[in-house]
């Protein structure tokens, strides 16, 4: 695996954006899951940085949170990751990885590229996260899967669609000029080898 200084810097920047977006939080009275912009950061990480650095940037936040750094909504510690929203959070790095992998196959010229980007971002930057998030929420609160869907999925669908549209509008033109390999410096020779 090759790491570049530029890639590490952009990963740290994207990790900081994820933390910042966590502070933009709107609680929903009937649900323990707040509305945040964090999934937008996950989409942007995979879409702009590609699979390797997208994964690393989001994984960095998850790891540091587990170690006790107050990075998610101002809280940290392993307790946060096994709390009601832990199922969502633990899927974030893998969502960024899959977004990066799949968007590398998309040609971003024309409207079709935006539509394909939106589909990838919605499926893997939103719906995939619910695959682990909703069952974990049901387990933590000893509720039925139906109730977990009501509290941890349905209220967020429209917001996630909007975030996926917004992310596609940002990612598509940037990738046409700066594909992840160029943005993160993988096309240059100053590479740090990681074992």
Token pair for residue 55? Answer: 């994964």
Hey, which bits of the chain come out as E strands?
A: 2-4, 25-28, 31-36, 191-193
pLDDT value, residue 188: 52
pLDDT value, residue 73: 80
Per-range mean pLDDT, top range of 4-8, 133-137, 179-183 = 133-137
* Whole-structure pTM value: 0.91
Give the pLDDT mean for 57-68.
96
Task: Say which residue, 46 or 106, is predicted with more confidence.
Answer: 46
Whether 38 and 66 have beta carbons less than 8 Å apart is answered as no
Domain ranges in the chain are 2-193
pLDDT value, residue 144: 95
**What percent of the chain shows pLDDT beyond 90?**
69
Q: pLDDT class for 186, splitting at 50, 70, 90?
A: confident
Rounded Cα gap, residues 39 and 92, in angstroms: 8
Average pLDDT, the chain: 90
Whether 92 and 42 have beta carbons less than 8 Å apart is answered as yes
pLDDT value, residue 194: 43
SS3 assignment, position 31: strand
Rounded Cα gap, residues 130 and 41, in angstroms: 16
pLDDT value, residue 1: 61
SS3 content of the chain, % helix, strand, coil (to 5): 70, 10, 20
Residue 16 predicted with pLDDT over 50: yes
2-193 adopts what CATH topology? Arp2/3 complex 21 kDa subunit ARPC3 (1.10.1760)
Q: Render pLDDT for 122-131 as a digit per residue (tens, 0 to 9).
A: 999 999 999 9
**What percent of the chain shows pLDDT beyond 70?**
95
Token pair for residue 35? Answer: 């509305």
Count other C-beta atoms under 10 Å from residue 173's C-beta: 13
Q: Render pLDDT for 73-115 as a digit per residue (tens, 0 to 9).
A: 878 889 888 988 999 999 999 999 999 999 999 888 888 889 9
Give the pLDDT mean for 113-122.
94
Give the pLDDT mean for 127-138.
96
Rounded Cα gap, residues 170 and 90, in angstroms: 25
């Amino acid at each position: 695996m090759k790491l570049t200084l530029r890639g590490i810097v952009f990963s740290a920047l994207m990790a900081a954006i994820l933390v910042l977006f966590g502070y933009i939080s709107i609680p929903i009275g009937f649900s323990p899951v707040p509305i945040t912009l964090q999934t937008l950061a996950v989409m942007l990480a995979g879409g702009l940085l590609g699979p390797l650095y997208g994964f690393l940037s989001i994984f960095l936040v998850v790891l540091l949170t587990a170690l006790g750094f107050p990075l998610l909504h101002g809280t940290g510690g392993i307790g946060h990751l096994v709390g009601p929203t832990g199922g969502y959070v633990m899927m974030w790095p893998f969502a960024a990885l899959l977004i990066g992998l799949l968007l590398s196959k998309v040609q971003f010229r024309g409207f079709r590229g935006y539509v394909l980007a939106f589909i990838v971002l919605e499926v893997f930057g939103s719906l995939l996260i619910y695959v682990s998030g909703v069952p974990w929420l049901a387990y933590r609160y000893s509720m039925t899967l139906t109730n977990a869907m009501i509290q941890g999925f349905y209220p967020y669908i429209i917001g996630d669609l909007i975030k996926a549209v917004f992310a596609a509008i940002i990612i598509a033109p940037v990738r046409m000029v700066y594909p992840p390999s160029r943005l993160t410096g993988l096309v240059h020779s100053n590479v740090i080898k990681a074992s």
